[in-house]
A and B are shown apart, each in its own frame.
Chain A
Amino acid sequence: MSDESILETRGLTKAFGGFTAIKDVDLKVRRHGFHALIGPNGAGKSTFFNLITRFLTPTEGTILYKGQDISRVKAARLPDLGILRSFQISAVFPRLTLLENVRLALQHGKGVSYRFWQNETSLNELNDRAESLLADVGLGGRGAEPAGTLPYGSKRALELATTLAFEPELMLLDEPMAGLGTEDIGRIADLLEKASHGRTILMVEHNMHVVARLCDRITVLARGEVLAEGTYAEVSSDPRVIESYVGRSDAA
Chain B
Amino acid sequence: MFANPRKILIGLALLAIALAAPAFVYPVLLMKVLCFALFASAFNLLLGFAGILSFGHAMFFGSAAYVSAQTIKVLGWPTELGILAGGAIAAVLGLVVGALCIRRKGIYMTMITLAFAQMLFFVFMSAPFTGGENGLQPVPRRAILGMIDISNDRVLYYVVLAIFLAGFGLIYRVIHSPFGQVLKAIRDNEPRAISLGYDVDRFKLIAFVLSAGLSGIAGATKAVIFQLASLTDVHWGMSGEVILMTLVGGIGSIFGPLLGAAFIVGMQNQLAGLGEWVLVVQGLIFMTLVMVLRAGIMGLMSDLSRWVSKLRASR
> A residues near B, CB below 8 A?
53, 55, 74-80, 84-87, 91-96, 100, 103-105, 107-108, 110, 112-123, 162, 166
Pairs A–B under 8 Å by Cβ, sample size 19: A55-B194, A78-B197, A80-B197, A85-B195, A87-B191, A92-B188, A93-B184, A104-B181, A107-B182, A108-B196, A108-B198, A113-B178, A115-B177, A115-B179, A116-B177, A118-B177, A120-B177, A123-B178, A166-B197
B95 neighbours in A (Cβ, 8 Å) = none
A166 neighbours in B (Cβ, 8 Å) = 196-197
Given contacts A80-B197, A108-B196, contact A117 B177 (CB under 8 A): yes
B177 neighbours in A (Cβ, 8 Å) = 115-120
Q: How far is A118 from B197 in the complex, measured between Cα atoms in Å?
A: 21
Q: Which of A53, A80, A100 contacts B181 (CB 8 A)?
A: A100
Q: How far is A117 from B198 in the complex, measured between Cα atoms in Å?
A: 18
B134 in the interface (beta carbon within 8 A): no
Q: Which of A104, A110, A116 contacts B210 (CB 8 A)?
A: A116
Q: How far is A78 from B203 in the complex, measured between Cα atoms in Å?
A: 18
Q: Is the CB of B197 within 8 A of A77?
A: yes
Contact string, B184-225, partner A, CB cutoff 8 A, digits 1/0? 110111011111111110110010001000000000000000
Q: Is the CB of A91 within 8 A of B195?
A: yes
Given contacts A116-B210, A121-B1, contact A87 B195 (CB under 8 A): yes
CB distance from A240 to the nearest CB of B (A): 34
Q: Is the CB of B188 within 8 A of A94?
A: yes
Contact string, B161-180, partner A, CB cutoff 8 A, digits 1/0? 00000000000011011111
A123 neighbours in B (Cβ, 8 Å) = 178, 181
Q: Is the CB of A79 within 8 A of B196?
A: yes
List 8 other contacts, CB 8 Å, given A87-B195, A92-B192, A123-B181: A76-B194, A91-B192, A91-B195, A107-B178, A112-B178, A116-B179, A118-B179, A120-B176
Instruction: Count A-B contacts at CB 8 Å.
Output: 105
Interface size on B, residues (CB 8 A): 29
Query: Which of B178, B199, B200 has the most chain A CB atoms inside 10 A of its CB?
Result: B178
Q: Is the CB of B179 within 8 A of A113?
A: yes
Q: Is the CB of B181 within 8 A of A103?
A: yes
Q: How far is A62 from B290 in the complex, measured between Cα atoms in Å?
A: 51
B180 neighbours in A (Cβ, 8 Å) = 116, 120
CB distance from B210 to the nearest CB of A (A): 7
CB distance from B97 to the nearest CB of A (A): 19
Q: How far is A116 from B169 in the complex, measured between Cα atoms in Å?
A: 12
Contact string, B115-142, partner A, CB cutoff 8 A, digits 1/0? 0000000000000000000000000000
Q: Which of B194, B197, B206 contacts A116 (CB 8 A)?
A: B206
A105 neighbours in B (Cβ, 8 Å) = 196
Query: Which of A53, A104, A105, A116 has the most chain B CB atoms inside 10 A of its CB?
Result: A116
Q: How far is A68 from B191 in the complex, measured between Cα atoms in Å?
A: 24
Q: Is the CB of B189 within 8 A of A93?
A: yes
Q: How far is A115 from B189 in the complex, measured between Cα atoms in Å?
A: 21
B192 neighbours in A (Cβ, 8 Å) = 87, 91-93
Q: Which of A74, A79, A104, A117 contacts B185 (CB 8 A)?
A: A104
Q: Is the CB of B179 within 8 A of A55?
A: no
Across the A-B interface, the 5 shortest Cβ-Cβ residue pairs: A79-B197, A91-B192, A116-B179, A93-B188, A116-B174
